[in-house]
Structure 1
């Protein structure tokens, strides 16, 4: 288990105000799905979106990271994936880069006060190639899926071989 609830509690203890959406929300907050304008209105209230995994697995990334990538919030990730392979540099925040939740809270608060740096991170998000046709069909399609498609079309460059699935998952 990723103990994301414990981590979020530590963020709150360090002075960060956190709203929780979905099944874990004690306030009954839900994020609208597949309605771009409604989701955008909700996200416009926030600087950050926490894409925390319920389990820390090397090759798993929550769908929430991709489904909410196109909105103007900086993703804060917590998981076992190699996010450097998935997302542009300086476009997200990885909890693993901080010694403690309190230090990350300090960084988040500093970033909200530095609009130039925050905007720079939003601009960096846009460096992923966007296939406009997918977004026109359904705006929840995200740029990382285009990157995944590119990697699948270049299998020789991106191939990995696992000799033991047991060792890989354990």
Structure 2
């Protein structure tokens, strides 16, 4: 037979005025921190970069968040590197234009050299091929028949270089079998 035991429950009752004096009604045990505690736990910039250097190789290279790519994009936006990107793009376009101009001059120089060597037909072929590849302003035609400034290039006869089979001359040999 089970032994029965008597347990007396005692209940302490407080009046409304005593209750607020005895029982703490503030949320101090549920993770509420004071301002001093928050400041103490705040990571400084120096600590952040220490952590960053420690974790550098653990951080994924790519990803929408928590990656080197994300850090680079958000930092670039904040620091205003987009302005630099626009300037870089303008400089790239200028370089492209200068390269196209240089190419046009090199083609003309090659044609002139071949012509001076007594092979006018080959020089004319070089210039003709160049006219299929370069537009009036010296922009190089893309594979789709547009120049690098996105204008259509029309070869003599009203067709694009792609339609006429543009290109194809071998400038190293002068295109027509002559010497260069």
Q: TM-score when scaled to structure 1?
A: 0.19
More helix by share: 2
**RCO greater where, 1 or 2, for CA within 8 Å and sep 6 or more?**
1
More strand by share: 1
Higher gyration radius (CA): 2
